[in-house]
Structure 1
């Protein structure tokens, strides 16, 4: 699905020197907190009052209407009191909202708060810390997709690494959301 307003949104971010935007979005009966990385062209979206969220990436102005988290799709359905799954409705409304979105630069505290809300199976180790050279288990695949997105999963497979998550954020936690490749190429697999 095409996001017609993403380029204008990114221009507004650049004008205001914002690399990772934070804003709230009202979707029918739900409020969502959203962080968007301009470099990665990725949203991390968390439902307020639910430990549930998902990531969504923009590729050449297009967003896949497949949302990587079944429970998040069900929650979107509940938000609009609708009886069928239609994430396209959510994405269309989000795209339409971007020109009027009132955003600010996300700070570590706000990003960590969004991340803690976006995890469905709450656990302590949700904050990216470093890369490790290793094979990935099924559980690590699910966690990588939920917290960092499919692009990072593919990146991990190509480089034979896994993201290691800690119970507390570090200086690399937000930096990796801004640009995970830069973090890897600067730091590699060292802690």
Structure 2
């Protein structure tokens, strides 16, 4: 008999959930994955501290997916006021500033535990994020490493469109938007 995992989508509301986000993040950094896994499954780039993750959550709650009382996926909400607080994201916010966007929330990172991928979790995280942050914000903006083909395809499949691209070091980033 197959066990059905009921998944609940909600705003992050506890330090325990923040710690679980950080744990899932660590498992999906490039350094924790093989080249094949990075190519096939995607990866996350930014490493957050508990302190900044908590401050970001207080400004605009992160969206999480819970199964069996564990965080199995997340979409980090990043109010633009945090644009200069995570060094690796400063170039993205500089590029966004050039576009003169207003009323947007940045999705700071999205990640889904391996066993829950290809089950609609990605789409539902964004749907929950939209219903949570709209109408306060009119769009969700994020960037994806152009080498992360899986992530780019997933974002395009749910309606993200290209805004611009830029080089930061040896990485080409695509800034994309969902309205």
The TM-score normalised by the length of structure 1 is: 0.25
Greater relative CO (CA pairs within 8 A, separation 6+): 1
The TM-score normalised by the length of structure 2 is: 0.26
